Amino acid sequence: SIQIALLVTPFLVILGWAVLDQPMTLHFETFETVAFAFSVLVVTYTVQDGKSNYLEGAMLLGLYFIIALAFYVSPSDAMDKALNLVSR
């Protein structure tokens, strides 16, 4: 997952600048960094034995839902103000 992030993240930044004309940066808030690191640890722990079952899959889906919900309810005003995305 780290290798994918190292490929996809710069690609999306370049895509945002060149094609979509959106201000995208590599500046990640602490919450985003902690959520990514935690998800990597849980996935690594879950799949380290080389086998999986429905319960492990359900646990990963639950983690995905919890992280998505946390990002939905977390305030993002600081980043919006930093990028001047908030209408005045």
Question: Tens digit of pLDDT for each residue in 51-84?
Answer: 888 898 898 899 999 999 988 888 765 555 655 6
Examine the pLDDT at 45 and tell me if it is beyond 80.
yes
Q: Does some domain include residue 88?
A: no
How much is the pTM? 0.61
Examine the pLDDT at 88 and tell me if it is beyond 50.
no
- The neighbour count for residue 35, using CB atoms within 10 Å, is 19
- Name the residue range of residue 19's domain: 2-82
Both structure tokens of 77: 């005003």
**Structural domains counted in the chain:** 1
Task: Give the dihedral of Cα atoms 81, 82, 83, 86; nearest 10 deg.
Answer: 0
Both structure tokens of 8: 């996809």
Q: Does some domain include residue 31?
A: yes
